[in-house]
Chain A
């Protein structure tokens, strides 16, 4: 067998195992702490390099260092949405139980990242721009994203019947995915007070490697945080969803599986 086939079979097998609540629960017991550990290590490195090693910016001085939190959480606010909407589409098309769980558990995490992006941006804006808030395209579209996350959470809890709630939630998250490219390109399509893209700019990052490195650490670290928070939240929801099945009863009653 060629190595690609082996990798493909492994991924396909893992994917299908994760599709079963019970298998997911077992796998996540091992992966969740690993994600949490990687988040801690990467973000500690990122924080150290960001605060003490990276040079100050020529015009913003040390206050630009909030970038090492602001930029990763803003990226994550979009990344989580894409994952959530993709899972929603998979759930709608293939009626996969676990895909709905991903969608529902991602919404509050995404909302938290979005709120943090808005908050850190606001704190950064006051000393540098001279204002906490303006209604330019980037800031406004990011605020709409926050309300969209709230709406998705609200829709899930608005239905009595779980299957209806899951489908409605997945549908809203799929419909809302159109906001992602709007937020991403808002600073290129329209004039704004918010700066244009630094890292994914045409002709390479407009930032020296010693600033880029801690940013990368933080960005990957926050991605593991998302995995950590998502899996923790999914564990709880899977146990609740499957509370009538024998394997959950065994876990709850303290017997090891």
Chain B
């Protein structure tokens, strides 16, 4: 390389290093705001603000889904296998909704229905329920086995699971 090429090489390298460093520090200082959702354990540990809208994700807890008498409102628990939050949602659930499926719920925590706060954690009144499918793609024939395995995921989990 000629001297002027070396100089320009150094400038380009410097620009890339500088921009990467600046981006790195910017991201590190805003780390938590890039998170899309919180987990039930975070809510149960840190508490919540009734006025704030939360995005909360967890696995649909086995045996927790029940429909209220009005026919369109559902109650179910979501869990990270360590702690739970109960969700109340009026509307159509995503097709992928089932026991053991990871879902994201968006809504506010209830303060009025204190009697509904059971041992299954605080009650979130969801305005939206989204399905978060994972990165595994499996042929249809194995569907029953893998769904059963997912529904029982918490049975042999030690501590909080990722989803």
Contact = CB atoms under 8 A, between A and B. Distances in A.
Contact of A129 (B130, B136, B141, B147): B130
25 contacts: A55-B139, A58-B143, A58-B146, A58-B147, A59-B147, A61-B140, A64-B137, A67-B137, A128-B133, A129-B131, A129-B133, A130-B94, A130-B128, A130-B130, A175-B19, A182-B27, A186-B34, A192-B36, A193-B36, A193-B37, A193-B104, A193-B130, A195-B132, A196-B134, A206-B137
B95 interface: yes
A52 to B, nearest CB: 14
A89 B12 contact: yes
Interface string A55-79: 1111111001001000000000000
A128 B135 contact: no
A171 B12 CA distance: 8
B114 interface: no
A206 B146 CA distance: 13
A24 B75 CA distance: 66
When A and B form their complex, which 5 residue pairs have the shortest distance between CB atoms, in order from nearest? A55-B139, A58-B143, A136-B36, A130-B94, A207-B137
B51 interface: no
B34 A189 contact: yes
Interface in A172-227: 174-175, 177-178, 182, 186, 189-193, 195-198, 201, 206-208, 210-211
Given A93-B9, A94-B5, A59 B133 contact: yes
Query: How big is the A interface, by class?
Result: 35 or more
Interface of A: 55-61, 64, 67, 89, 92-94, 127-131, 134-137, 171, 174-175, 177-178, 182, 186, 189-193, 195-198, 201, 206-208, 210-211
A151 B118 CA distance: 53
A239 B76 CA distance: 65
B93 to A, nearest CB: 8
Interface in B128-159: 128-143, 146-147
**Interface range, B side:** 35 or more
Interface in B33-49: 34-37
A55 B143 CA distance: 12
B23 interface: yes
B57 interface: yes
Contacts of A59: 96, 101, 133, 143, 147
Contact of B20 (A58, A178, A189, A193): A178
Given A92-B8, A190-B34, A127 B138 contact: no
A129 B131 CA distance: 5
Nearest to A140: B34
